Amino acid sequence: MQPLIDWLDERTGLVATWRQLGAVEVRSAGMQHSIGAVFVYLFFQQAALGVLLATYYSPSASDAWASTAYLNDQVTGGWLLRGLHHHGTSAMVILMGVYFLRALAVRAYRRPRELRWLSALLMGALIFAFAITGFPLPWDQDGYWGAKIRMGIIGTAPGGEQIVSLLTAGDEFGNLTLLRFYMLHIFVLPVVFVGALVVHMSGVLRERPTATNEDDRRPRLSYYPHQLFYDVLAVTLVAAALLGFTVWSHGAPLYAPAQPASSYIARPEWYFLSLFQLLKVFDGPLQIVATTLLPGALATLLVALPWLDPGSASTPRRARLVVPLAALLMAGIGTLTAIAVAEDAADEVYQKNRVAARSDAARARDLALIGVLPHGGDAVYQNDPQVAARTLFADECATCHAIDGIGGEEAPNLTNYGDRQWLREVIRNPNDPLKYGNTKLDEMEAYPEDELPEDQLVAVVEYLVSLAGDDAPPFDANLAAKGKALFDDELDCNNCHETEPGESGDGPNLSGLGSQAWIARVIADSSAEDLFGSEADMPKFVGKLSEDDLTMIAEFVFSLRDADTPDPSQPEGDDEG
């Protein structure tokens, strides 16, 4: 192998460079000196993962969520790649915090380390910039609304409106907004970060004593193998912890596709929660204190620190203030974060919103497995037969019929159509405007409680429920038999309503009442002789809609029956059941 190594070294200098690095001497070795090595590892891991993610990602408002969902749920190991990249940002934030705490403790900002300190501050700011630009890229509810909140905060700062206009490329978030976030995230910020990293590492290497430093009489250790061992160990431990956490949390969250008209309640990432909570303290006109004055004062102080405490004999008092101030700052950040978490935990509206958001996300991702239509991430809902049926219902039926208060009032309200409570209300008052009161079907008499006691009404309803045949919910056969006797004999309902298939009467034949097939027949042609006949107001849909559409609407209306309607055969039901 030696000839090959010599050949490569002659043309690349890699071996000689490695030997020079190995010859670099350090004053001490230990894990406390491995922060930089771990940080460099995390950055290059993030870059490598970003390249892999980019091979599947499509940066457009119509495709971003779909491409992310495909990667996350259908590409082998895709969820792991996303998870490592997502949690890698948090790892870098934590590591940067540890670095700054240690740097402040040992006053690593003093001359001649000013450029190292400033480059580290720049890298810290860039990490947060990576988070801000990367978080919206999946174009899910959390990313979209979180970005809206951040842009709103930035817009309140001096010059913020211009920055927001530049980033969003318009009044509303759209394709150009997403594309600009993406370009910043994968091109601009990495280039600036690498530049700051080169400046920082150059300062580190220049400062370390080497074998040529004859005037340095302190004991020295070579970087290889002493400190290299600790660097490799630290990188291994962090990589294992990151992998373990990613597997435990099963990757990164992915919520439902972004919906600008929704009532989604967003929260920033955990490392921005302190600023989010600070905005609650300084609300209204004082918001500029939280968005500009305090962060600006902190940034100015950190940048000026090498000159405020240059490490000379004349500044011992200033030096003693650095660590307590840093500790106070970290305590403040931790307290604000804890308060934000506690308030959200106690906020019932927020918690319900999160439950609904997770349920909606699971549903959207399941539907995405079928495929996503090309005109947008939220088009995935059109894979849901319920959504397609609701759309068809809204187009063809909602002019006359309402569901949950939305729709017309010319025909019966179909909320919970055909369940026991709906049938009870029809029998008690068929001419109620929510039932048949606004139609020509006004011949059926109402049955108030003095004419039809409650126990008899329960029995009649149970009989009507049983007429749905195979589509009937669980019912009490004995109670239904009692109801049939009342229907046929005491109430004489069979004078108008036949219950044998195909027979006609003055009222609609109730054979199969409430079943999907019965509903389909009514939708197709309610004026059939054995249904509503000449009294039917409802237009014929046979020939107007396809068989598939008729079936779809019938299935949808049938599904409106309340599944929680109590079964009288159960102990909590009717006493006579």
CA count, 13 A, side-chain hemisphere, 287: 13
Task: Tell me the pLDDT band of 568, cut-offs 50, 70 and 90.
Answer: very low
Task: Tell me the pLDDT band of 25, cut-offs 50, 70 and 90.
Answer: low
At 574 the pLDDT is: 43
Q: Are 170 and 47 in contact (CB under 8 A)?
A: no
At 571 the pLDDT is: 42
DSSP string computed for 556-574 = HHHHTS-TT---TTSTTS-
Ordered by where they begin, the domains of the chain are 30-251 (1.20.810.10), 386-559 (no CATH)
pLDDT average, residue stretch 320-325: 76
Residue pLDDT, tens place only, 37-58 = 999 999 999 999 999 999 999 9
Rounded to an integer, what distance in angstroms lies between the CA atom of residue 59 and that of residue 47? 17
Rounded to an integer, what distance in angstroms lies between the CA atom of residue 500 and that of residue 407? 34
Rounded to an integer, what distance in angstroms lies between the CA atom of residue 337 and that of residue 275? 8
Residue pLDDT, tens place only, 361-383 = 998 898 888 877 666 677 787 77
Residue pLDDT, tens place only, 432-472 = 999 998 888 888 889 999 889 999 999 999 999 999 999 99
Mean of per-residue pLDDT scores for the chain: 85
Rounded to an integer, what distance in angstroms lies between the CA atom of residue 33 and that of residue 313? 27
Task: Tell me the pLDDT band of 261, cut-offs 50, 70 and 90.
Answer: confident
At 285 the pLDDT is: 81
Phi, psi of 432 (to 5 degrees): -60, 140
At 17 the pLDDT is: 65
On the question of pLDDT at 567 being above 70, the answer is: no
Angle, helices 189-207 vs 35-54, to 10°: value is 160
